[in-house]
Structure formats: structure tokens, C-alpha cells
């Protein structure tokens, strides 16, 4: 695939957003977040989402100008009605408002409802950790995961990201609670590749390794009963604090025409223990330098492989297929 | 196994603790927590820990009278030096102090270091949720889990519990981030039963199904790379806020003679969205009533099987082996 310089990709994405009526600073933020995902190799949260964002604006289920309505429900609890804004724009404004509060009282929670897709959660956790705050980020999604022992998708993929300041670069992990993403299943289906056993059920609730059949079925929770418990707990926690929709009622994270009614949660914490950053960096070095098991080249710290890829792509540019480039260009240069 | 009435077990446990110099109210709390674990079928966090608690008091690494030293580092952040107190006593006092603060400002965080073993985390999450608060509870432990791709135990079993108020009984999940507990491996070893492949490594870092060999080896993280990322993130988060020891430096959660230097974290949140409790209860009913997969009798909500067992045992009594009963009785009636 041709490598396109980051600045050129960014310019194209920003132009497409502006053309759809997105204010400059909002366009820049949304574009940067999508491109950060591409640079990290998380294409499912990258530029392929841009056309859908633009269609959502056109369809009136995404308001490109709002930053959401923020209201403090107590000194440490920020409730946000996202007013159907751009996911990253609303979340960023909320985190911006909550950060000084976290510094003052020790921590702050941001509960957001009526907001569009956030994109990659790692972005927010990293942003906070670079600011010296520990961060727990949660967001819900349309039901794609079946309960452990169930036949039907009833739970979101409900990812969690955790960011922790260290003495050097922050620790950032980001994982969905499904064993694989629906993006990966679509990818396998398009290549006619069979799924691993245990990954998915078909529409009738029967186990399948046929990726095409899994597209209308359900993804297994990661790690069996424990991952199911965690994914469900995240969905309940987000809803209990945001009032977001639950399970099969959640819409608007994958389509172009329905209001997005999932919820987002950020907990920002600003009381690092003395010396903890250095101790954590030392400990992570021990893990990096540990002897690997057979079949592994080395022991990795979560998030670092994607961070390395990002550095590489920052220099070399993004591999973008001609097809995607044409699609993105059309968003800017062709008649609406 | 003979069934012993709960009141009789409680009386015995309280007597043993009192005899070791534990004040009455502390004895009651510690005993209730161990017995709650027994009633839920979590024997690894039950009465078998009582003799060790008493030995720790005798060895001077557990101070039975303190409730810890509490200091607010900001309106929402409670830092606690546990002063080597009884785990549940210190944690309970901290949660008690943090609850009104969570109600006032929206949420509060409790960071505890220098505290003994908490016992079952579900107990705390349930207690908070019954009080109307959402709760995230984390605690670290001695390194028993290997990094994904590693050969050696370098990470605690680092459990998480999440409690959420509903319109009926709270939702409570509680899971360690190892694929199995070391208690289960000991149990398999004592019965000469082979482990499942993928559960553990031996002391040389080689995969093993020999439970005896796994006792000196390492447990796999649950759910592969994702569970590894979560377990590690929990360890870093706890340490970043408590200053607790990390990885192989953690001592005192399994032995009888070393100061316990792990950390505990509780986040209590008091801003349930209007109507969320009822919506969550309805959603959990949908999950309970969903069609099960082949091999499953029904779809379960996490935590409910153990809650049902607790109700049954509350009525029928606890199954306690003659050996354990003799051991516990000796703690009370024999010469020290």
C-alpha cells in the first residue's frame, strides 16, 4: 500500500470535516483522533469511520458544533449531555473541565450521555496520563457480545482503557471485552478466512468458525465467564451513572442514521504517591527484560507495540489503500 | 461434610480472634467476612485464613487494634496508612469515612497501603451497593501470574470487584485476573488431578498440567493478552495511588511473618442517573431469561450463583470438615 505523509492525511480529513460544517478546531481534533488510531494500527477506529461521521451529520444525528452541556453534580462529578456532538469534541471538553477539579479535590468523574462514538479510548487515557493523571476510561456500544452461556448478542463490546503516569512515557492499556472485534470478523469474512473456534456464534446462536455467518451473530466475551462479568459490569456502571441505554437498546455506534444513546465514563485521579512513577518504570523494565516463553520473541508491556508502530508511521507515513484514499478524496472534492 | 450452623461458626471464629487480642467489634467484622466467603463457596478466602491471621498477630506483623491512620488528600481522596491492621477493619473504617464524602462531592477514592489481606472483594462492593453507591474495588497480591508471553510469576492475581445498585438486589461481580486461583491449583494438587492446558507454568517456566509442579510456578493471566493488560494495569493503578510494592516485591498476603505491603483501592460513586436502577434490573432480567447455549442450563448473572449458595448455607449451615473444625477449635481451647 502507498505510504501517505501524516500531514497530508490530516489535511484531507480536516477538509472533509470542514466541508460538512464542522468548525476548525473540532475538525482538527476529530481528524487527529482517527489518524492516531491509524498510526497505532487500529484501523477499525481510524479513517474508515470518517464517511460515517459525515453521513451522520447529514442525517441530523450528529451536531458538529456543540461541545455538550456540562453540569457539575457535586464538586467531583461532571455530568455531560453531549447534545449529539462529535464524540472526541464533547469528551475532550469534559476532560478539560474536569482536570483542574481532579487536581483540586483528588479525582473527578465525567459521565457523558447522548454523545457520538469516541474513537479509540487509549487516546484519552494517554492524554490524561501525559497530564500527570491516572485515568480509567469506559464506553459502551451496540450489543455485539453474548453473555457467557447465552446464544444472542446482548452486551456491548464495552472497552476499558487505563492510563498511568510513569517516570517516562505513560502506561496505556486499551481492550474491548469481546474476544475479537466485529471489525476483525468482517476482515476475516472479506478474506474468506475461518475464525478461531470459540470466537463467535451465528445468528441462530450456534458456534461457528464461518466469519460471514458470525457477522449477524454474536462475539464471545474474552476470557469466558470472567470477561463476561467485566464487560457486563462496565455496561451497568456506565449506565448507572449516565442513564445511557442498555444492551440491544443501544444504537448509533455503528449506523449512520440513529441517535447515539450509549454512555461514556472517565475517572481522572491526581494523587500519585511519592516515588510511584519511578517504581512503576523500574517494574515495567523488569517485565520488558523478562525471559519470554517459547513462541514469543519478547515480553511486551501493553500498548507499547502500537506506540512503536505510531512512531514508525509518524516518520514514514500511513499505508492507505487507493480505494480508501479515493473514498476520502471524494468526500472533499466531489459534489455532495 | 457435617453442616455447622452459621452462628456456631461465627462464635468460634470470634472467640479465636478475641483470644489473640482482637477487640470485639474487630473480631466480629473479620469473622463475618471470612464466613461470608465460606457461605458463598469461596473457601480460599474463608476460614482457612483464620489460623494465618492469628499467626500474623503473634508474629507482630498484624496489629489487631488499629483502624489505620486516615488522611484526606483533597476533598475526594482519602489516603490510609493501614498501620498493619486487620484488612477488613481498616478498609471498613475507610469506606465508612469516605461514604458521606462520596455523597457530598459525587465520588470518593480510598487508597490504602500497609494493610493486611482484605478477604473477598465482593463483600465491600456489595456493602457499598447496598448503601446506594457504585463501587470499584481493587487490591494487589503477591506475584503469582506471569506476563503474557513470559515464563515467571511477576504480577499479582489482582482481583477487581464492581458493585452497582439496582432496583432490587445489587449487581456484584468479583474476579481475579489469573485464569485460576493458586488455591484451586493447590486443591487439584492435593487430589492428584491434572490442570487444564494453558493454566500454568512450572518453576522452569515450561507449560505444565501437573498441579504439584504449578505450585512453585506461575498462573496464566485470564483471557490471554487482554487479561494480562488488565491485571498489570490494576497493579500499576493501585501502586500509583497508594505507593504499595510491585510484583515480586509484594509480601505478606500468603505468609505469616512478613509485613503486608500490597495496596487496596476503592472508588465509591454516588450519582445514580434517574431511573437507571430500574432499567438495569430489567436488563438483568432479560439476561437471566435468555436462551442458553448447548452445555449450559441457563444464562447466569455474575455473582448470583454464589449469592444463592449463601442463602442456602445461611439456612442449612456451613459444610466444614472435621479437620478444619478441630483446627479452629484448637485456636480457642488449646494452650497457645
Q: How confident is the model at residue B305 (pLDDT cuts 50, 70, 90)?
A: very high
pLDDT tens readout for residues A322-336: 999 999 999 888 755
Closest-CA residue in chain B for A175? B226
What gap in Å lies between CA B81 and CA B70, rounded to an integer?
Answer: 7
Q: Which of B149, B150, B280 sits opposite A239 (nearest CB)?
A: B280
Region B100-113: mean pLDDT is 98
Instruction: Sort A25 into a burial class: Cβ within 10 Å, 0-12 / 13-18 / 19+.
Output: exposed
Q: How confident is the model at residue B1 (pLDDT cuts 50, 70, 90)?
A: confident
What gap in Å lies between CA A116 and CA A140, rounded to an integer?
Answer: 11
pLDDT tens readout for residues B111-125: 999 999 999 999 999
Region A297-326: mean pLDDT is 96
What gap in Å lies between CA A62 and CA A256, rounded to an integer?
Answer: 9
DSSP state of A272: P
pLDDT tens readout for residues A63-82: 999 999 999 999 999 999 99
Query: Does the pTM of the predicted model rise above 0.95?
Result: yes
Q: Which helix (H) or strand (E) holds B210?
A: none
Closest-CA residue in chain B for A228? B302
Strand boundaries in chain A, DSSP class E: 3-4, 69-72, 77-85, 107-115, 134-139, 160-164, 171-175, 200-201, 207-208, 218-219, 263-269, 318-319
* Predicted confidence (pLDDT) at residue A145 exceeds the cutoff of 80: yes
> Which residues in chain A have their CB less than 8 angstroms from residue B275's CB?
243
Region A126-149: mean pLDDT is 98
Instruction: For chain B, give the percent of residues with pLDDT over 70.
Output: 99
Q: Which of B106, B275, B290 sits opposite A150 (nearest CB)?
A: B290
> Which residues in chain A have their CB less than 8 angstroms from residue B225's CB?
302
State the pLDDT at residue B316. 97
CA dist B202 → A130, B199, B220 (Å): 39, 10, 11
Grouping H, G, I as helix, E, B as strand and the rest as coil, residue A324 is: helix
A291 in reach of chain B (CB within 8 A): yes
CA dist A239 → A264, B46, B102, B176, B283 (Å): 9, 33, 18, 24, 11
Q: How confident is the model at residue B4 (pLDDT cuts 50, 70, 90)?
A: very high
Of chain B residues 66-125, which have a CB less than 8 A from chain A? 73-77, 79, 104-109, 111, 113
Q: Which of A162, A227, A299 sits opposite B223 (nearest CB)?
A: A227
* Predicted confidence (pLDDT) at residue B336 exceeds the cutoff of 60: no
Closest-CA residue in chain B for A109? B107
State the pLDDT at residue B333. 84
Residues 6+ apart with CB under 8 A from B312: none
Region B69-74: mean pLDDT is 98
* Predicted confidence (pLDDT) at residue B126 exceeds the cutoff of 70: yes
pLDDT tens readout for residues A199-219: 999 999 999 999 999 999 999
Q: Measuring CA to CA, which residue among A12, A268, A16 is closest to residue A127?
A: A268
CA dist A155 → A60, A147, A176, A202, A239 (Å): 27, 7, 12, 16, 12
DSSP per-residue codes, B216-260: TSEEPBTTHHHHHHHHHHHHHHHHHHH----GGG--SSS-SSS--
DSSP per-residue codes, A93-120: HHHHHHHHHHHHHSEEEEEEEEE-----
Length of chain A measured in residues: 336
| Interchain CB distance below 8 Å, B269 and A136 | no
Which of A142-156, A321-335, B10-24, B214-228 shows the lowest per-residue confidence on average (mean pLDDT)? A321-335
Closest-CA residue in chain B for A248? B283
Interface probe, candidates B113, B166, B173, B243, chain A, greatest A C-beta count within 10 A: B173
Cβ-contact A261, A114 below 8 angstroms: yes
B269 in reach of chain A (CB within 8 A): yes
Cβ-contact A334, A20 below 8 angstroms: no
Phi, psi of A267 (to 5 degrees): -115, 120
The overall average pLDDT reported for chain B is 96
Q: How confident is the model at residue B164 (pLDDT cuts 50, 70, 90)?
A: very high
Three cell numbers written together for A178: 469481546
The four Cα atoms B18, B159, B240, B126 give a dihedral, to 10 degrees, of -60
Length of chain B measured in residues: 336
Three cell numbers written together for B174: 468479583
What gap in Å lies between CA B112 and CA B103, rounded to an integer?
Answer: 20
Instruction: For chain A, give the percent of residues with pLDDT over 70.
Output: 99
Neighbours of B329 (CB within 10 A): 13
Region B126-151: mean pLDDT is 98
State the pLDDT at residue A34. 97
State the pLDDT at residue A1. 85
A278 in reach of chain B (CB within 8 A): no
> Which residues in chain A have their CB less than 8 angstroms from residue B236's CB?
162, 164, 171, 280, 283
Q: Measuring CA to CA, which residue among B122, B187, B109, B213 is closest to residue B159?
A: B122
What gap in Å lies between CA B217 and CA A113, rounded to an integer?
Answer: 46
Interface probe, candidates B299, B301, B304, chain A, greatest A C-beta count within 10 A: B299
Residue with grid cell 483522533, as numbered in its chain: A33
Three cell numbers written together for B44: 480460599
Region B87-109: mean pLDDT is 98
State the pLDDT at residue B183. 87
CA dist B71 → A62, A191, B198, B330 (Å): 45, 58, 44, 39
| Interchain CB distance below 8 Å, B240 and A134 | yes
Region B228-257: mean pLDDT is 97
Kind of pairing between the strands at A218-219 and A200-201 = antiparallel
Q: How confident is the model at residue A303 (pLDDT cuts 50, 70, 90)?
A: very high
> Which residues in chain B have their CB less than 8 angstroms from residue A180's CB?
none
> Which residues in chain A have their CB less than 8 angstroms from residue B286's CB?
154, 247
State the pLDDT at residue B179. 98
Q: At what angle do helices B24-39 and B122-130 cross, to 10 degrees?
A: 100
What gap in Å lies between CA A141 and CA B173, rounded to an integer?
Answer: 20
What gap in Å lies between CA A144 and CA A152, rounded to an integer?
Answer: 8
What gap in Å lies between CA A175 and CA A189, rounded to an integer?
Answer: 22
DSSP state of A56: H
Amino acid at each position: 500500500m502507498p505510504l501517505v505523509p501524516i500531514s497530508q492525511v490530516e489535511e484531507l480529513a480536516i477538509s472533509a470535516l470542514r466541508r460538512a460544517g464542522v468548525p476548525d478546531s473540532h475538525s482538527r481534533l476529530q481528524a487527529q483522533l482517527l489518524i492516531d488510531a491509524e498510526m497505532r494500527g487500529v484501523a477499525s477506529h481510524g479513517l474508515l469511520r470518517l464517511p460515517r461521521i459525515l453521513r451522520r451529520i447529514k442525517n441530523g444525528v450528529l451536531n458538529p458544533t456543540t461541545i455538550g452541556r456540562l453540569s457539575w453534580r457535586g464538586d467531583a462529578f461532571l455530568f455531560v449531555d453531549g447534545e449529539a456532538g462529535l464524540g472526541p469534541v464533547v469528551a475532550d471538553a469534559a476532560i478539560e473541565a474536569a482536570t483542574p477539579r481532579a487536581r483540586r479535590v483528588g479525582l473527578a468523574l465525567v459521565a457523558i450521555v447522548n454523545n457520538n462514538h469516541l474513537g479509540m479510548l487509549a487516546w484519552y487515557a494517554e492524554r490524561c496520563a501525559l497530564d500527570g493523571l491516572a485515568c480509567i476510561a469506559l464506553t459502551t456500544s451496540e450489543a455485539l457480545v453474548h453473555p457467557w452461556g447465552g446464544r444472542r448478542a446482548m452486551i456491548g463490546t464495552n472497552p476499558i482503557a487505563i492510563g498511568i503516569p510513569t517516570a517516562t512515557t505513560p502506561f496505556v492499556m486499551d481492550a474491548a471485552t469481546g474476544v475479537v472485534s466485529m471489525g476483525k470478523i468482517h476482515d476475516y469474512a472479506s478474506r474468506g478466512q475461518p475464525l478461531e473456534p470459540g470466537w463467535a456464534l451465528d445468528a441462530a446462536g450456534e458456534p461457528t468458525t464461518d466469519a460471514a455467518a458470525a457477522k449477524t451473530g454474536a462475539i464471545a466475551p474474552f476470557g469466558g465467564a470472567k470477561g463476561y462479568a467485566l464487560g457486563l459490569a462496565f455496561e451497568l456502571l456506565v449506565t448507572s451513572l449516565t442513564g445511557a441505554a442498555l444492551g440491544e437498546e443501544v444504537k448509533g455506534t455503528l449506523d449512520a442514521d440513529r441517535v447515539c444513546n450509549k454512555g461514556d465514563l472517565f475517572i481522572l485521579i491526581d494523587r500519585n504517591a511519592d516515588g510511584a512513577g519511578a517504581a512503576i518504570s523500574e517494574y515495567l523494565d523488569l517485565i520488558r527484560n523478562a525471559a519470554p516463553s517459547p513462541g514469543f520473541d519478547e515480553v511486551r508491556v501493553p500498548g507499547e507495540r502500537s506506540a512503536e508502530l505510531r512512531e514508525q508511521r509518524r516518520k514514514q507515513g500511513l499505508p492507505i489503500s487507493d480505494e480508501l484514499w479515493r473514498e476520502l478524496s471524494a468526500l472533499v472534492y466531489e459534489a455532495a
